[in-house]
Amino acid sequence: MINEKPRVRFAPSPTGYLHVGGLRTALYNFLYAKHYGGKFILRIEDTDRNRYVEGAVENLIDSLKWCGLDFDEGPGKDGEYAPYMQSERLNIYLKYAEELISKGKAYYAFDTPDRLAKLKEEQTARKEQSKYDKLALTLSQEEIKNKLDAGEPFVIRLNVTPGQRVIVDDVIRGRVEFNTDIVDDQILIKSDGYPTYHMANVVDDHLMKITHVIRGEEWLSSTPKHVLLYEFLGWEIPVFAHLPLLLNPDKSKLSKRQGDVAVEDYRAKGYLKEALVNFVALLGWNAGDDKEFYNFEELINNFSLERVNKSGAVFNVEKLDWLNGEHIRSKTALEILPLFKEELDNSIYKDHNFSDEHLLKIIDAMKERIIFIRELIEKSPYFFEAPNLYEEKAVQKRWKPETPDELKKLLSEFEKIDSSSKEDFENALHKSAEELGIGNGKLIHPVRLAVSGSSTGPGIFDLLHILGKEEVILRIKTALEKINN
């Protein structure tokens, strides 16, 4: 570890939405920083102008903040290393690229796209690795000056010495060794004056005093180029940690083709941020036990890079669903209430005025039976309106020829009760069953059907208590009329 208080960064490109893989990278950086009392920095790598998407930065920040990943420094929260948008730092990259040229560690290259395409074609035909052939290094200083003065398009390339070993000590993967024979003379500054990812990444990580580079496995093969840049510029190399791939259940790489991959998709589907963060944290990490349910504080307290696995992590939506239900059940009814109201505002009941007391009772009755908050409405519409239809199979099974008379007896008992407490309904039902000489179930099932239209739901006395005496009586009378006809 470079110092006791790490500085880590999440550095996405603004190409659209925040991918769940990006969320995991951001989350692991955040958890690592907070575990050790360090800083979490957001840097926007927007130097590839062809892939830039309008509004993507705002979407990224919104998704991160929704998940609770509030950065310490970044766009709109400038620290001493601002600006945090790479497109606002172009003069910095050129300065260091020129320093590399002066040291002989980089060079100007004036190749045309046609020449590079032909070179690649020839190498492919010979079944060789596609690499730049260093032709530009044969130019004299005078030739280079003349080309620059004439305004010829150029790029600046890294000058990689072949036959060398580059060693990367990775926290997750251990010691990884690369031979520079397979490392290309990477372009550092493109012909449009913008830096490539590799150049900007290293310069910014150094200038922003990043201590730990925690990123996806796909960047491991680029790391030798980065290590060479650190060495050529005489800078301290940060600690590297490359995270395992995210996989579909069939072990292919997680992609949009096989399902949703954007954080905003899961948010729109009704997943709680606590559940999504908990789930994503477990995609490649565990604390060394079987525990799967974590709140945010527990994740911060338990997280370590040493417990991140090397092998790919399978994205299992069933597990996410389970965690969503568990996080709902861990909340109090009062904590769920604003989320419930939000769902009601987006439902057909948005113009109804339900009291908080009524809604809190519904939450308590249904909390154990749902995976999503919206299911408080979907699974129990009878709490918001009387049923129009009655479950056909349940009618055939539970509505016997004697049921109407038995329910009329029950109605007379319900009409006598003073309040709508669960106990009042329970006592009235027991009394009716006893006087009729039947089991409680002979009344419970048709009553449930009459007031809800369904054969399943919360406890019958919870259901009756929430609906209240007058509504229950009205619904039973309606059912007697509708079902008998």
CATH code of domain 386-485: 1.10.10.350
As a residue count, the chain comes to 485
User: In this model, does residue 265 exceed pLDDT 90?
Assistant: yes
Rounded CA-CA distance 131/186 in Å is 9
- pTM value is 0.93
Q: What is the pLDDT of residues 134-189, one digit of tens each?
A: 999 999 999 999 999 999 999 999 999 999 999 999 999 999 999 999 999 999 99
What are the CA-CA distances from residue 189 to residues 26, 64, 106, 143, 423 (Å)? 27, 30, 10, 20, 77
**109 DSSP assignment:** E
Instruction: Say if residue 58's pLDDT is above 50.
Output: yes
Mean pLDDT of 267-293: 96
- Superfamily the domain 89-243 falls into: HUPs (3.40.50.620)
pLDDT-based confidence at 259, cuts 50/70/90? Answer: low
Please list the active-site residues. Answer: 256
d(CA 355, CA 339): 15
Residue 257 reports pLDDT greater than 70: no
pLDDT digits (tens, 9 = 90+) for 308-328: 999 999 999 999 999 999 999
- CA 483/CA 485 separation, integer angstroms: 5
pLDDT of residue 430: 98
* Span 60-88, pLDDT tens digits: 999 999 999 999 999 999 889 999 999 99
C-alpha 195: how far from chain center: 29
- Residue ranges per structural domain of the chain: 89-243, 386-485
* 108 contact partners, CB below 8 Å, separation of at least 6: 101, 136, 139, 144, 147, 148, 154, 155, 156
